[in-house]
Structure 1
Amino acid sequence: MTDRRVVIAGGHGKIAQHLIEVLTARGDRAVALIRNPDHISAVTALGALPEVIDMETASVDDVAALMHDADAAVFAAGAGPSGGIERKDTVDRGAAVLLADAAEKAGVKRFVQISSFGAGEPVPDDAGDTWKAYIEAKTAAEEDLKRRSHLEWTILRPGGLTDDDPTGHIALSAPPLERGTVPRADVAAVIAALLQSPSTAGKTLMLTSGETRIEDAIEAV
């Protein structure tokens, strides 16, 4: 039982829902920032405290007010495949920057940001416009976070996401890492473990399924 308060942006997303379950099971208190009030009952049933806020229009003060007494923040939001090019910037970059700004204002130091394979790398010439916008947004969000000296940040770049059952075994390393997939439930378990691993602050980590137990993989990095 750890009894830590963790604020999750994108609190109704698939990874976030798995994360809420993991955090709740170990005695932490998850605060789910959600845009749609229709999702209140879903995140509450998982054990989270719901807070309705639109990260595309909210101010830093609005978000910081919801982060009082928090021990950590997780950026798990995303515009999604149907979000359009413009929302790749306003959500995948803009909302990430907003959460980091709010964390600094609220004095929340531990910060885990979900990014993606491909971020921080040149976008292939044959990439579609939507993928290009997505990677550019994720890269910009990473670059913003890396400039912040007041946050103990970790950037996690998972490979292709699946809804397969968790395996508890992963490949985790600093870039580069061979491309692969990973169940969302395992991504959530890694995030939960990272929150308890302050030695991973300041690191950018690539994640796929693999042969190493999550705890051992995190200890190794």
Structure 2
Amino acid sequence: MTQIAIVGGHGKVAQQLITTLSASGHTPVALVRKEEYREELESQGAVVRLLDIEAQEAADYAAAFEGCQAVVFAAGGGADGNIERKRTVDLEGSLKSIAGAERAGIRRFVQVSAMGVDQPLPDDTEDVWRAYVEAKRDADAALRESGLAWTIIRPGALTDDPATGSVTLAESVDRGEVTRADVAAVLAACLDDDASVGKQWELVGGSTPVADAVASA
């Protein structure tokens, strides 16, 4: 049984991942900012620990990761138009998670990013979207340059539709949608497959079963 820390443990993808990991015999450790999330997440099978992504530092992250064998960074600054939180959550939260994993002696690190963030942005790009893309881009670059055993998953447009169990997964794919449940299934499959280490994949809905998609990507 493996304990897996999930940074941003109350997010929609994270909650799908908690359910998926619990069902496969792992112990998800949900790191959240608010005590009020505890009962809900424990009912889904998570161990809950408190971590304020913005207010706390790498040493606090390392302490929160204690006993875990892997870290999943699934946090996001939200869709409220707050530019500053794109930096403090999406970028700095990832950087502190990377540093915390290194301090805690954890090598395995899986990060949820977004499609297309390495592509140049048009001059008329809206400020919040630019901040989001740049934060994800820089977080991914930092993870690739770390000494960790990393995997980066870059989903397309996320939906709350039920899981399909089938996806399209490759270094580059055509834009499309993917369910959050299928993203979680891919994250879990990557955690169980060392061949995904050092890989950065884009992800949308498709016709290939998740396990086969990860094995062949």
Which bin holds the TM-score, normalised by the shorter protein?
A: over 0.9
Inter-partner Cα distance in structure 1 for 2:117 and 2:110 = 15
SS at match of 2:164: coil
Segments of structure 2 that go 5 or more residues without pairing to the other structure are none
The residue aligned with 1:97 is: 95
1:172-212 Cα deviation digits (max 9, x unpaired) = 001x2100000000000000000011111111100000011
**Structure 2: distance between partners of 1:198 and 1:125:** 40
The equivalent of 1:186 in structure 2 is 182
Cα offset, 1:66, TM superposition? 1.6
Aligned AA for 2:114?
A: S
Matched residue, 2:151: 154
1:54 aligned residue: 52
1:3-24 Cα deviation digits (max 9, x unpaired) = 1100000000000001000111
Q: Which residue of 1 aligns with 2:61?
A: 63
Partner SS, residue 154 of structure 2: strand
Q: Which whole-Å CA distance do the structure 1 matches of 2:183 and 2:123 have between them?
A: 29
The size of the alignment, in residue pairs, is: 217
Quick one: distance in 1 between partners of 2:163 and 2:123?
Answer: 34
Question: CA offset at residue 83 of structure 1?
Answer: 5.2
* Paired residue secondary structure (1:8): strand
Provide the residue aligned with 1:73 in structure 2: 71
Deviation at 1:125, TM superposition (A): 2.3
1:22 aligns with 2:20: yes
Q: Provide the aligned C-alpha RMSD in A.
A: 0.9
What amino acid is the match of 1:31?
A: V
Q: Secondary structure at the match of 2:15?
A: helix
> Percent identity over the alignment?
44
Tell me the distance in 1 between the aligned counterparts of 2:102 and 2:81: 28
1:216 match: 212
Letter in 1 for 2:205: S
One-letter identity of the residue aligned with 2:84: E
Partner Cα distance (1:60, 1:88) in 2: 18
TM-score, normalization: structure 1? 0.96
